[in-house]
A and B are shown apart, each in its own frame.
Chain A
Amino acid sequence: MADVTLMKTPAETALAQAFEAVKTALPGSAESRAEAFELFAERGLPHRRVEEFKYTDLRTFMREVAPFAPTPSSAEAKAALRDAKALAGVEALSIPFVNGHLVRDEIDFSKLPEGVEIVPLSEALAAGHDWLAKLSPIEWARKNPVYQLNSAFMADGVMVRLWGDVATPVHLRFVTSSATAVATATRVLVIVEQGASVTLFETHESTSGAGHQPNDVVELLAGDNAHVHHVRVNAEGDQALALSTFAVKLGADVAFNTVNVVAGANVSRHQVFAVFEGENTKAQINGATMLKGRQHGDTTLIAEHAAPHCESRELFKTVVDDEATGVFQGKIIVPHHAQKTDGRMMSAALLLGDGASMNNKPELEIFADDVQCAHGATCGQLDEDLLFYLMARGLPKKEAESLLVQAFLGEAIEAVEHEGARDALVGVVETWLKARG
Chain B
Amino acid sequence: MPAVQETIDQVRSIDVDQYKYGFETEVEMEKAPKGLSEDVIRFISAKKGEPEWMLQWRLDAYKRWLTMTEPKWARVSYDKIDYNDIYYYAAPKKNPAPKSLDEVDPEILKTYEKLGIPLREQEVLAGVEPKNRVAVDAVFDSVSVVTTFKEELAKAGVIFMPISEAIREYPDLVRQYLGTVVPVTDNYFATLNSAVFTDGSFVYIPPGVRCPMELSTYFRINEKNTGQFERTLIIADKGSYVSYLEGCTAPKRDENQLHAAVVELIALDDAEIKYSTVQNWYPGDAEGRGGIYNFVTKRGDCRGKNSVITWTQVETGSAITWKYPSCILRGDNSRGEFYSIAVSNGMQQVDSGTKMIHLGKNTTSRIISKGIAAGKSENTYRGLVSAHRKATGARNFTNCDSLLIGNQCGAHTVPYIESKNASAVFEHEATTSKISDDQMFYCQQRGLSEEEATALIVNGFVKDVLQQLPMEFAVEAQKLISISLEGSVG
Contacts and interface: CB of A to CB of B under 8 A. Distances in A.
A408 B236 CA distance: 44
A337 B490 CA distance: 18
A57 to B, nearest CB: 14
Interface in B201-244: none
A353 interface: yes
A375 interface: yes
Contacts of B434: 374, 376
Interface stretch (A159-167, A357-365, A410-418): A357-365
Interface of A: 51, 336-337, 339, 344, 349, 351-381
Q: Which 6 A-B pairs have the closest CB atoms?
A: A374-B431, A351-B422, A380-B425, A369-B404, A360-B417, A377-B428
B122 interface: no
B395 to A, nearest CB: 9
B37 to A, nearest CB: 31
Contacts of A356: 422
B2 interface: yes
B405 A365 contact: no
Contacts of B1: 370, 372
Contacts of A362: 413, 415, 417, 428
A361 B428 contact: no
Contacts, number: 128
Contact of B428 (A51, A354, A376, A381): A376
Contact of A369 (B418, B420, B421, B487): B487
Interface centre among A356, A359, A362 (most CB of B within 10 A): A362
A379 B417 contact: yes
Interface residues of B, number: 39
Given A362-B413, A374-B431, A378-B428, 13 more contacts: A349-B419, A351-B424, A356-B422, A358-B417, A364-B411, A366-B411, A368-B404, A368-B407, A369-B2, A374-B434, A375-B413, A377-B427, A380-B423
26 contacts: A336-B407, A336-B408, A339-B407, A351-B422, A354-B422, A357-B420, A359-B419, A360-B418, A360-B426, A362-B413, A362-B415, A364-B490, A366-B490, A367-B410, A368-B404, A370-B1, A375-B428, A375-B431, A376-B431, A377-B415, A377-B428, A377-B429, A378-B426, A380-B426, A380-B427, A381-B422
A339 B408 CA distance: 13
B114 to A, nearest CB: 36
Contacts of A364: 402, 411-413, 430, 489-490
A356 B387 CA distance: 11
A349 B421 CA distance: 12
A366 B373 CA distance: 11
Given A354-B422, A361-B417, A379-B419, A369 B406 contact: yes
Contacts of A339: 407
B420 A361 contact: no
Given A376-B428, A377-B415, A379-B425, A367 B489 contact: no
B368 interface: no
B100 interface: no
B422 A366 contact: no
B60 to A, nearest CB: 26
Nearest to B408: A336
Contacts of A354: 421-422
B407 A51 contact: no
